[in-house]
């Protein structure tokens, strides 16, 4: 029983679940030239996509042909916001529905992306059914529209978001999660995933640079010695990871949002909005990375902890998450954070991808 409890993490019952699938295809020149105009191409795809989605009861689906990376977050109000590099989707799975097309007029998009957002209750329990429906829609589209095109790259994203300090605010109820890997979870529910799949499992958390923290580090902040300020957090993070036997992680404090990738596919790179972080999850060598701009003070410091193959257990990732929570608590122990008033958002991510 003690061993089982090691592999179970207790997460507040008010945690928020998100689940979405992203299908990408790189259309050929011949595909674009088969339509009278580029805009007609996108509109035709949208019509067929949304008709298929109606058939399989997929109620929140978006077609993106603007070469922007979709980012999905929970919100009680529905928003779709565009930046130079991103499409931000905020929604509540319980009641937001939409079928929308986004494209740049008269412009050939390098990639066409189909974004399927899960809706309804109990997203984790129904995730295999949702994935199955998306597979059926993509099969129909390939038969009707993309017959001679490259395969789709299908990415399944699931995350749980919760406040680490929920108990301090009086939210005592929690649920014990084992956090099983997606592949066996799907296989047990008759959702077939090809053998050439890739998985990434990781956690992110953020520490806002509040007035209290600025006061705590007043000397460094007032002197605009931001290198020493960031070095403090970097050293504390690395030390906490080492104590809790976590080898893969990153701190990002340059104003960009971290995007996590497998190093076999992508390398580290960044722009004004996004910081791509690549990790070799098969290696046990330490991969702790730091990205910060010592010339400016950011509003939020982002942290990432990535699960390696040695963190993957048949029973699930519960033990890994317990190690992560200990790391976050250790990092926050010496910081001026009011746990009764301030949230510390932790997100547990599970990704699986494969050519479809």
Q: What is the mean pLDDT of residues 61-90?
A: 93
Tokens 């931001």 locate to: 226
Q: What is the mean pLDDT of residues 167-183?
A: 92
In this model, does residue 271 exceed pLDDT 80?
no
In this model, does residue 209 exceed pLDDT 80?
yes
- Residue 328's H or E segment, with its range, is helix 318-332
In this model, does residue 1 exceed pLDDT 60?
no
pLDDT in tens, 94-110: 999 999 999 999 999 99
Helix (H, G, I), strand (E, B) or coil at 209: coil
Distance CA(102)–CA(117), nearest Å, equals 15
Cβ-based burial of 49 (10 A; exposed 0-12, middle 13-18, buried ≥19)? buried
Tokens 């509540």 locate to: 92
pLDDT in tens, 303-342: 999 999 999 988 899 999 999 999 999 999 989 899 999 9
pLDDT in tens, 38-75: 999 999 999 999 999 999 999 999 999 999 999 999 99
Distance CA(353)–CA(184), nearest Å, equals 14
Look at residues 333, 330, 319, 311 and name the one whose alpha carbon lies nearest to residue 10: 319
Distance CA(332)–CA(216), nearest Å, equals 13
Percent of the chain residues past pLDDT 70, beyond the cut: 96
What are 355's strand-pairing partners?
A: 153
Q: 84 and 273 in contact (C-beta within 8 Å)?
A: yes
Q: Measured at the alpha carbon of residue 299, what is the angle toward residues 298 and 304, in degrees to the nearest 5?
A: 80
In this model, does residue 225 exceed pLDDT 90?
no
Helix ranges restricted to H, 35-181 = 38-55, 127-144
In this model, does residue 3 exceed pLDDT 60?
no
Structure tokens at 35: 């339509």
Q: What do you get for the CA distance between the two ends of the chain, in Å? A: 41
Instruction: Give the pLDDT band (50/70/90) at residue 266.
Output: low
Look at residues 162, 154, 136 and name the one whose alpha carbon lies nearest to residue 355: 154
pLDDT in tens, 145-167: 987 788 899 999 999 999 999 99
Task: Please provide the average confidence, as pLDDT, over all residues in the chain.
Answer: 92
Handedness of CA 137, 138, 143, 144 (dihedral sign): positive
């Amino acid at each position: 029983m003690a061993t089982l409890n090691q592999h179970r993490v207790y997460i507040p019952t008010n945690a928020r679940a998100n689940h979405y699938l992203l299908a990408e295809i790189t259309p050929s020149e011949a595909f674009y030239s088969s339509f009278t105009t580029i805009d007609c191409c996108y509109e035709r795809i949208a019509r067929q996509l949304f008709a298929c989605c109606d058939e399989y009861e997929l109620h929140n689906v978006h077609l993106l042909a603007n070469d922007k990376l979709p980012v999905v977050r929970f919100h009680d109000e529905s928003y779709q916001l565009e930046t130079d590099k991103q499409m931000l989707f905020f929604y509540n799975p319980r009641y937001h529905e939409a079928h929308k097309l986004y494209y740049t007029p008269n412009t050939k998009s390098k990639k066409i992306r189909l974004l399927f957002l899960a809706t309804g209750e109990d997203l984790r329990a129904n995730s295999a059914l949702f994935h199955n429906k998306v597979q059926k829609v993509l099969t129909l589209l390939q038969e009707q529209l993309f017959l001679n095109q490259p395969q789709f790259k299908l990415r399944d994203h699931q995350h749980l978001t919760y406040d680490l300090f929920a108990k301090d605010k009086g939210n005592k109820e929690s649920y014990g999660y084992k956090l099983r890997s997606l592949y066996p979870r799907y296989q047990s529910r008759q959702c077939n995933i090809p053998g050439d799949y890739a998985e990434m499992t990781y956690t992110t958390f953020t520490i806002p640079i509040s007035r209290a923290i600025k006061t705590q580090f007043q000397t460094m902040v007032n002197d605009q010695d931001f290198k020493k300020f960031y070095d403090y957090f970097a050293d504390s993070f690395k030390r906490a990871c080492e104590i809790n036997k976590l080898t893969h992680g990153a701190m990002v404090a340059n104003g960009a949002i971290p995007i996590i990738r497998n190093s076999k596919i992508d390398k580290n790179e960044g722009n004004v909005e996004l910081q791509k972080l690549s990790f070799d999850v098969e290696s046990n060598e330490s991969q702790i990375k730091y990205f910060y701009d010592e010339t400016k003070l950011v509003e939020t410091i982002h942290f990432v902890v990535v699960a390696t193959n040695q963190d993957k257990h048949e029973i699930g990732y519960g033990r890994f998450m317990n190690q992560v929570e200990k790391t976050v608590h250790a990092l926050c122990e010496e910081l001026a954070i009011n746990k009764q008033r301030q949230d510390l958002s932790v997100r547990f991510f599970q990704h699986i991808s494969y050519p479809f």
